[in-house]
Amino acid sequence: MESPTQTSDLQEQINTWKTEVNTVREDLQMMRERLAQLAFSKTNATIMAQVEHFQNRFIRQAEVADEMYHDLKQSSKKISANGQLHVIHDDRPVDDYDTLQERMETFQKLFEELKTDFNHFIPACQ
C-alpha cells in the first residue's frame, strides 16, 4: 500500500486505524464475557487451563491495543502540530508511515488469529 503524502490523508488513515483499534477493544470485551460464562459453567481441568490461556491472551491483546491507540493518537497530534510524522515512543518506534502501517497489519493479524483460536475453542467447551 502506498503511503499517503498529504497531511489530511495521513490523519484520515490514522483515524481509520484508531477506529479499528477501538473495534478490537469492543470485540475483546465481548470475548472476555463469553469466556467468563464458559469458565462458570465448566470445571474440567483441561478446559480451565484453556480458559486461563485465553484470559492471558486477552489481557495481552488489550495492552497492545492500548499501546497502539496511544501511539496513533500521539502520531496524529504530531502531524497536526507540524504536518509531518516523526514520532518515537520508547520501544515502540513510530517514526514513519510505513512503521505505523506495519504495526497495524501485525496488530490486525494477531487479533484475527486470537479470534479464530477462540472461536474454535468455544464449540469444544459445549
pTM of the model: 0.82
For the chain, how are helix, strand and coil distributed in percent, rounded to 5?
80, 5, 15
The structural domains of the chain, with segments of one domain joined by +, span 7-125
120 burial class (0-12, 13-18, 19+ CB within 10 angstroms)? exposed
Q: List, for residues 54-113, the tens digit of each pLDDT value.
A: 999 999 999 999 999 999 998 888 877 765 554 444 455 455 678 889 999 999 999 999
What is the helix (H) or strand (E) element at residue 89, kind and residue range?
Answer: strand 87-89
CATH class of the domain at 7-125: mainly alpha
Q: List, for residues 14-59, the tens digit of each pLDDT value.
A: 999 999 999 999 999 999 999 999 888 877 888 899 999 999 999 9
Q: How many CB atoms lie within 10 A of CB 25?
A: 14
